[in-house]
């Protein structure tokens, strides 16, 4: 059975099969096939059963996080992991479709996500959604200074390195240990696949 995949370029479409996904995402499949979980992402405006997205972590304008806090976090994440973790594509790992109720908060539908070979990821067992966990800090409200009439960046640095302590709590390995309530940032291109193909995916993974 054939599905469509769409590159994130105008008028660049091509036919694809699920085999194409398995061929391009073999590294991720090898990493998760024994843990009985799939990666899910809540999204808006996915047009086809299978779409391929280009994902650049070079720049992303945050929706809710204060831009100064966002930039500071990326600076320190980059020092540790070599990429802008807060610019990644966020998803959640789970063993069943209950995730769809969770990721629906981040879009109008939930899709299964398969990162393309060469991907990286970063997550923390102590973080669910960084903005929700630390809303006052992420919004910048906790760092507002009347004297500066703006944010005190030294306090942001202190929070990231001491109170949040990303050096200690974040990791780029052991994705199968992630729970439903642990956001995972993905660096790299990825496929999104409609939930109706889930059983076919699981069957195909068992055949590997």
What is the pTM (predicted TM-score) of this model?
A: 0.88
pLDDT tens column, 135-180: 999 999 999 999 988 999 999 999 999 999 999 999 999 999 998 8
Distance from C-alpha of 52 to C-alpha of 144, rounded to nearest angstrom:
40
Distance from C-alpha of 58 to C-alpha of 88, rounded to nearest angstrom:
9
Distance from C-alpha of 31 to C-alpha of 46, rounded to nearest angstrom:
26
pLDDT tens column, 88-145: 999 998 866 555 555 556 677 888 999 999 999 999 999 999 998 999 999 999 999 9
């Amino acid at each position: 059975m054939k599905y469509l995949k769409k590159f994130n370029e105008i008028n660049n479409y091509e036919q694809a099969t699920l085999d194409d996904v398995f061929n391009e995402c073999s590294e991720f499949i090898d990493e998760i096939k024994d843990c009985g979980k799939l990666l899910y992402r809540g999204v808006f405006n996915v047009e086809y059963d299978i779409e391929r997205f280009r994902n650049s972590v070079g720049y992303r304008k945050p929706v809710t996080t204060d831009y100064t806090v966002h930039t500071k976090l990326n600076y320190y994440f980059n020092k540790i992991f070599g990429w802008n973790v807060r610019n990644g594509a966020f998803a959640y790992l789970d063993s069943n479709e209950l995730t769809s109720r969770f990721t629906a908060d981040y879009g109008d539908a939930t899709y299964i996500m398969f990162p393309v070979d060469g991907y990286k990821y970063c997550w923390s067992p102590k973080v669910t959604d960084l903005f929700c966990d630390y809303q006052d800090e992420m919004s910048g409200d906790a760092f507002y200074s009347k004297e500066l009439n703006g944010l005190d960046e030294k306090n942001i640095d202190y929070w990231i390195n001491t109170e949040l302590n990303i050096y200690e709590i974040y990791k780029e390995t052991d994705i199968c240990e992630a729970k439903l309530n642990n956001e995972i940032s993905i660096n790299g291109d990825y496929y999104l696949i409609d939930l109706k193909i889930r059983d076919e995916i699981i069957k195909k993974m068992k055949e590997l």
